[in-house]
Amino acid sequence: MSDTTAETILTEAHVETLPPEPATRLPFLTIALIEFALAVGSFGIGTGEFAIMGMLPDVARDFAVTMPQAGYVISAYAVGVVVGAPVIAVCAARLARRQLLLLLMSIFALGNIVSAIAPGFASFTLLRFLTGLPHGAYFGVAALVAASMQEPHNRAKAVGRVMLGLSVSILIGTPLASWLGQIVSWRVTFALVGALGILTAVLIAAFLPADKPHVGASPLRELGAFRRKQVWYTLGIASIGFGGLFSVFTYVASTATLVARMPETAVPIIMAIFGAGAITGNLVGAWLADRALMRTIGGVLIWDAAVMTVLWLTASNPVMLCLCVFLVGCGIAIGPSLQTRLMDVAEDAQTLAAALNHSAFNVANALGAWLGGLAIAAGYGFQSTGWVGALLAVAGFGVFLLSLLSDRRTARRTLAAAA
């Protein structure tokens, strides 16, 4: 069997699993407004997730806890994302997507508003866990909605436009929220993030037409995603290969000040450079994914391994560090690709698979930060997060190769059956 024949069979098999085309194509302006509404939600979620990192000293002081203890609120949110994505996707399987999005944004808005008035540290930590629950499900359902309004060759770009709000939150939303929290109060920041959630719900209600639950949708059908090897392979790529980016990002401020000897005033600039890279990667990665999905995934992993190796070798040079931080941020390019890949391989369990993508990213966040911290604690210095990230990218590429081999075996069996 030729490689071309196998690829043709795989392509045909994947086309059958794409989201169904809507009965009536929506006008361009309506689609743009819906994507904007969904992107506002991703901006709000991203700002709420990352702003706490800059306000952690204020939270620790107000609740009279140590900095390590204050860090529990970040972990609580991440656990909420990992737990909430599959649970909500399964339990809400029979809900229409518009209805589910409104419910998720309402929970997110309420969680942030109540977080702003939390009376104690224990209640605040619990509220951050509850606020994280709708995170993954929102991104998953929003991606499915955006993709369903486009032709198959434009799906990844639509997903990228929705996820662009998350990238913009890194560049603009998080620094502004942290600044506001420092000059006024961290409580005001969470209240404003809650207001963004309310605004998103209003925009979704105004622009997204009412829909109906998919015929035959059920919790049992969604759980069927766990029976598909390619779903597990894709989640593995995200959980491992994407961990390298978080290994570098988590400790980038210390790398800049302690290794490159940059002043502390340069840290916001470093963060902005990373955010600019994330926006660039999101847009370019989505464009590439619509042209060659699997090649984009593999290519980004190789890119990450190379860039992070260069960062490890040149972190002491401020100019090279800034360049590498931008290029590492470009690794966000893999996000739309993995989200689209899950749409192709999840068959009739797309809501769960799409939501799990963001659980996998939070696993990558925890894994990258943990392994990077181990390398630093072992005495290898903050620049060691570069080679830790490169190794994670290589490991993710290994999972990617296993996915390709599995696809190839499936193609051969399909061809044999057809013959």
Extract the tokens encoding 246: 């978080």
pLDDT the model gives residue 104: 96
pLDDT of 14 > 60? The answer is no
- Which of 385, 297, 339 has the alpha carbon at shortest distance from 164? 339
Mapped onto helix, strand or coil, the DSSP state of residue 157 is: helix
- Domain membership flag for residue 10: no
| Residue range 173-199: mean pLDDT, rounded | 88
Q: Where are the alpha helices (DSSP H) in 240-266?
A: 243-250, 252-254
pLDDT digits (tens, 9 = 90+) for 157-167: 999 999 999 88
pLDDT value at 223 more than 70: yes
pLDDT (0 to 100) of residue 317? 96
Q: Residue 10: what pLDDT?
A: 41
Residues 37 and 57 in one domain: yes
- The total number of structural domains in the chain stands at 2
Residue 161's domain is classified under what CATH number? 1.20.1250.20
Query: Residue length, the chain?
Result: 419
Higher per-residue confidence, 201 vs 344: 201
Cα gap 64→122, rounded to integer Å: 12
pLDDT surpasses 90 at 130? yes
Q: What is the DSSP string of 109-157?
A: HHHHHHHTT--SHHHHHHHHHHHHHHHHHHHHHHHHHHHHTS-GGGHHH
Domain residue limits at 253? 225-419
Of 217, 241, 257, the residue that ends a domain is 217
Q: Which helix (H) or strand (E) holds 11?
A: helix 3-15
CB 326 within 8 A of CB 281: no
In whole angstroms, give the CA distance from residue 37 to residue 51.
Answer: 21
Residue (of 386, 338, 344) closest to 359 by Cα position: 338
In terms of average pLDDT, the best of 4-18, 35-49, 162-176, 370-384 is 35-49
Q: HSE, CB side, 13 Å, CA atoms: give it for residue 25.
A: 4
| Residue 5 in domain | no
What pLDDT is attached to residue 19? 44
pLDDT digits (tens, 9 = 90+) for 29-53: 999 999 999 999 999 999 988 888 7
- How far apart are alpha carbons 61 and 58 in whole angstroms? 5
The answer on pLDDT for 6 being more than 60 is no
* Residue, of 17 and 145, whose pLDDT is higher: 145
377 lies in the same domain as 248: yes
Q: What is the pLDDT of residue 265?
A: 80
pLDDT in tens, 274-324: 989 999 999 999 999 999 999 999 999 999 999 999 999 999 999 999 999
Regarding whether 198 and 103 lie in a shared domain, the answer is yes
Mean of per-residue pLDDT scores for the chain: 87
Indicate whether 3 pLDDT > 70. Answer: no
Q: CA nearest 42: which of 408, 307, 358?
A: 358
Q: Is residue 361 part of a domain?
A: yes
Cα–Cα distance for residue pair 27/6, rounded to 1 Å: 37
How many CB atoms are closer than 10 A to CB 216?
A: 9
Closest CA to 352 of 193, 189, 234: 234
Of 217, 250, 275, which residue sits at a domain end?
217
Quote the tokens at residue 407: 């696809």
**286 in Cβ contact with 352 (< 8 Å):** no
* pLDDT score at 65: 87
43 close to 173: Cβ distance less than 8 angstroms? yes
- pLDDT reported for residue 125: 94
Evaluate if residue 417 carries a pLDDT over 60. yes
Q: What is the pLDDT of residues 46-97, one digit of tens each?
A: 998 888 877 877 888 899 988 778 878 888 898 899 899 899 988 888 899 9
Residues 349 and 328 both lie in one domain: yes
pLDDT of residue 238: 95
Band (388; pLDDT cuts 50, 70, 90): very high
Whether residue 155 sits in one domain with residue 127: yes
CB 246 within 8 A of CB 369: yes
| 204 and 231 housed in the same domain | no
Provide the 3-class DSSP secondary structure of residue 258.
Answer: helix
Look at 220 and 1; give whichever has higher pLDDT: 220
pLDDT of 226: 81
State the Cα–Cα distance between residues 315 and 248, nearest whole angstrom: 11
Mean pLDDT of all residues in 221-241: 90
Structure tokens at 125: 């930590």
Using the predicted structure, report yes or no on whether residue 12 has a pLDDT greater than 70: no
pLDDT for res 101: 96
159 with 235, same domain: the answer is: no
Is residue 47 located within the same domain as residue 177? yes
Q: What is the mean pLDDT of residues 142-167?
A: 91
pLDDT computed for residue 327 by the predictor: 96
Same domain, 253 and 130: no
Same domain, 239 and 189: no
Tell me, yes or no, whether 62 and 177 share the same domain: yes
Number of H helices, E strands in the chain: 19, 0
Percent of the chain with pLDDT over 90: 54
- Encoded tokens for 126: 């619990």
Q: Which of 158, 189, 217 is the last residue of a domain?
A: 217
For the residues of 34-101, what is the DSSP string, one character each?
A: HHHHHHHHHHHHHHHHHHHHHHHHHHHHHHT--HHHHTHHHHHHHHHHHHHHHHHHHHTTTS-HHHHH
Q: Are 217 and 358 in contact (CB under 8 A)?
A: no
**Residues 179 and 273 both lie in one domain:** no
Q: What integer pLDDT is reported at residue 191 of this predicted model?
A: 95
- Could you give the dihedral angle defined by the CA atoms of residues 392, 406, 85 and 189, in that order, rounded to the nearest 10 degrees? 30
pLDDT confidence band for 8 (50 / 70 / 90): very low
> For residue 2, what pLDDT band results from cuts at 50, 70 and 90?
very low
Q: 43 to each of 162, 178, 294, how far by Cα in Å?
A: 9, 15, 27
